[in-house]
Structure 1
Amino acid sequence: MNTDILSSNIKRYRSKKKLTQQDLSELSGVSLPAIKNIERKKGLPRTNTLLAISKALDCRLQDLVKPIGELSAVRFRAKSKMNRREQILAQVSKWLNDFAFLEVLLSDKEEYKLHKLAGNSGNLSPTQYAEEARRIIGLKSNEPIHDICGLLESCGIKILTLPYFSDAFNGLSVGEDDKGPAIIINTWERISIERQIFSTAHELGHLLMHLSDYDGKVRSEDTTQEKEADLFAGYFLMPEQGFNSEWEETAGMPFLERVMKIKSIFKVSYKTVLYRLKQKGIVDDMIWLQFQKLYEAKYNKKLSFKEEPFPEGSEPFGLKPFDFYADRLSRLVRRAIEEEKISISRAAEILNLSSEQMMERIAEWEDFA
């Protein structure tokens, strides 16, 4: 029994269930000092101790002792030091394994439509990559993206939404060599949906432009590549022809409302719209301050740099969590359940639900087929 693996798995399952060490101690009947020693890799616990812990964590004993595959073709660059980096990567690895298992079981694997573009020699600019990606996917040159998760999943890219209670990272991506391609996005409630959508497009940019640099051991950000991915994301979400057309059509509107309308059409942040205007020479560096003043004058509220106009719940046309929702995995699980190819407990494990939650989900499937 490897104490490193055991410690990592217990921490991962405990974190997933949002339990403290004290909570786990009370649920399992294992003393708090014993829990701490196990997580600190001090000595080997008895089998009955691990059985009690696995029951409290709603997992199998073998889940606590088996190693999680290490990802190598991964890009995970955080802004600052992250305490849970390895736990997140372990969770992503398990999710990818479960996803691949279902695809094989059901003979249902989406073709990766952007594979050839990802293998391009790199002679294209970020904006050209964005244009070519949109063309391959089948988007019109002026068409907004209404459902980025569904769009990319239909192109063979797996999407995982993972709430991490920090803005230390917005997202990460995994290459084909590690059962990807996959994009994992931080859906912490303090990160706007607009930002989550932009981060998804940003990671797609990395998958297409920087695949040769994917290395799970590298933690620091490459400033040049980050700027390229940002540029790609802006033009992937808000194509030039579409932006120009909408900007001309809104010419009679007040500037603040004009920006807000463009933002809502393309599901981007107001900063993305202002940055495009600056790129095109329509505005200068003073626009950030000017926009904040216009906003404060109209709504009697200051606008912080990280904030989207109108807080969650009060924006008439604002984006909500269901504007960013990945559903392919749950669809595969439903099919596997209905075809009696996996058990209810296995389905719950894959979807990270309790047994009770899984039963409720199945009841909904049956009631609202």
Structure 2
Amino acid sequence: MERKDLLVLATNLRRLRTALGLTQVEAAKASGLSRAAYRNLEAGKSEPRTSTLKNLAKALDVGVPDLLVQAVIPENVRFRSKKQLKLREHILSEAGRILADYSDLEEILGERHTFALKPIQSTPPKGQSRGEAAARKARKLLGLDDKEPVRDVCGLLEAAGVKVVALNIASDTFFGMSVSSAPLGPAVVVNTWERISVERWIFTAAHELGHILLHEFAYKKDKTNEDDREEREANEFASYFLVPADSFAKEWKETYGAPFVERVLKLKRMFRVSYKTILYRLHEETGEALWLVFHKQYHLRYGRRLDNHREPYPMTEDAFKSGFPAAMRSEEPDYLSRSDFVADRRFRLVRKAIEEEKISLARGAEILGLPLRKMRELTKTWIDVWPKKKSK
């Protein structure tokens, strides 16, 4: 190995170990190495044997190529948080790798979509309610009428030229990020960790789309601090994109006479959003803060609390007004399932590329981040049950 290759390996070892929350001692033990031997590898001071690379990859739950390939960090990325996130480097690297492979697939197959919402990004609305205005325009460009809910946010965005990437990151402080433009974007990256509610996944995808359309010039990979105004605008965009005003008013009126909790839950399911998003919109319309009322009535009606620790629910007014849905699945009543958020276009392109012999099975496994054994198992599930046209 050349010196630069040793440094790439060292960087990847450190990043992957940190992402798994392992110490050097633990990583060394899992790899069958002494602490000193592992420390030298992570410092770029020694060259590993092929067998050592395989053991390292197994211990860190990645493929050998993941240890040797230099990370691709998107330039025009928006990844901000009020909290310092130790996993930032790893998340950016994983997102960059996936998006680079995704773009290669599109190029190989000639299936790169035009960004259908570019007119909004080029000339975003101005004024106080620009988030709502952008949401209306986006829905119109995507062929949604004023009453139609967003039934498949992943499919809708991917058909419009926005890549959707699901990452499984065990963190309750990272929900998503986005890339504003080519070559890797536009793209939204959503944390689909199982403890985060699916409602939050959906809202995050729409929220990041709002940033792409409204804040193109704020995409700088080294900027980490959140901008409160931009966050409010992205929240407003997501709320009105997922729950159009006319449809919300109509459906709410049609539940007149039903218990308040049931009215909220019905609209929550209809629009595939959090109950907090529905309460937020009611607050906008009426000026009343109804979250305490909802939690009390929910407890009385179902005999259980939405928060396992305190009652009433400890949600601050600022958090409520932000429009964010419940972050954790345990906080979301009548929650959606994983099947309500499926980013499947990348998998579809991999299958097509393999079947057309444009990539190997091993390359497909690498793109999807699967061991070759798992990739072979996946291909066995690929069946086409759609009836073929009968020949006359």
User: Of residues 77, 96, 100 in structure 2, which corresponds to 1:97?
Assistant: 100
Aligned to 1:355: 372
Length, aligned pairs only = 364
1:300 aligned to which of 298, 303, 307: 303
Say if 1:112 and 1:156, in contact at 8 Å, map to a contact too: yes
Given that 2:125 and 2:133 are in contact with CA atoms closer than 8 Å, whether structure 1 keeps it comes out as: no
Partner of 1:272: 277
Look up the match of 1:329. Answer: 346
Q: How many angstroms apart in 2 are the aligned matches of 1:226 and 1:309?
A: 16
Matched, 1:237 2:213: no
Partners of 1:15 and 1:356 lie apart in 2 by 26
Task: Please give the alpha-carbon distance, in whole angstroms, between the structure 2 residues aligned to 1:309 and 1:70.
Answer: 27
How much does 1:264 deviate? Answer: 0.6
Q: Return the TM-score normalized by structure 1.
A: 0.90
Amino acid at match of 1:276: R
Whole-angstrom distance in 2 between the partners of 1:346 and 1:122: 43
Seen in structure 2, the aligned counterparts of structure 1 residues 329 and 16 have a Cα distance that, compared at 3 Å, is farther
Identify the match of residue 144 of structure 2 among 131, 139, 148: 139
User: Could you tell me how far 1:51 is from its partner in structure 2?
Assistant: 3.7
Q: 1:278 to 1:110 in 2, by over 3 A?
A: same
Q: Structure 2 vs 1, CA of residues 311 and 212 (structure 1 numbering), >3 Å: closer, same or farther?
A: closer
Question: Percent identical across equivalent pairs?
Answer: 40
Work out the CA distance in 1 between the residues paired with 2:355 and 2:192: 29
**1:262 correspondence with 2:267:** yes
Q: 1:18 to 1:59 in 2, by over 3 A?
A: farther
The equivalent residue for 2:118 is: 115
- The one-character-per-residue Cα deviations of 1:43-84 (angstroms, maximum 9, x if unpaired) are 2334557644566365345x4344223321000002311111
Query: Does residue 33 of structure 1 match 2:50?
Result: no
Relative distance call for 1:178 and 1:8 in structure 2 (3 A) is: farther
Structure 2 CA distance, aligned partners of 1:16 and 1:331?
A: 28
Structure 1 regions of 5+ residues with no counterpart?
none
CA RMSD of aligned residues (A): 2.8
Asked if 1 retains the 8 angstrom alpha-carbon contact of 2:197 and 2:329, the reply is no
Instruction: Identify which of 176, 183, 191 aligns with 1:186.
Output: 191
Partner of residue 46, structure 2: 44
**Given residue 222 of structure 2, which amino acid in structure 1 is its aligned partner?**
K
Matches of 1:100 and 1:77 in 2, distance apart? Answer: 24
2:178 is paired with a residue of what secondary structure? strand
- Please say which of residues 92-101 and 300-309 is displaced more in the overlay: 300-309
Residues in 2 aligned to 1:107 and 1:353: alpha-carbon distance in whole angstroms:
24
User: Which residue pairs with 1:252 in the alignment?
Assistant: 257
For structure 2, the residue ranges without an aligned partner over 5 or more in a row are 308-312, 316-324, 387-392
Cα gap change, 1:42 to 1:73, in 2 (>3 Å): same
Paired position in structure 2 for 1:129: 134
Describe the superposition over 1:112-145 as per-residue Cα deviations: whole angstroms up to 9, x where unpaired: 1011211115426110000000000000111101
1:192-237 CA deviation, whole Å, 9 max, x = no partner? 1111111111000000000111000001100111011111110000
Residue 149 of structure 1 corresponds to: 154
Contact (CA 8 Å) 1:102, 1:333: kept in 2 or not? yes
Contact 1:195 1:269 (C-alpha < 8 Å) held by counterparts: yes
Conserved? CA contact 1:267–1:319, under 8 Å? yes
Cα displacement (A) at 1:291: 1.1
Q: TM-score, normalised by structure 2?
A: 0.85
1:310 and 1:22 mapped to 2: Cα distance? Answer: 32
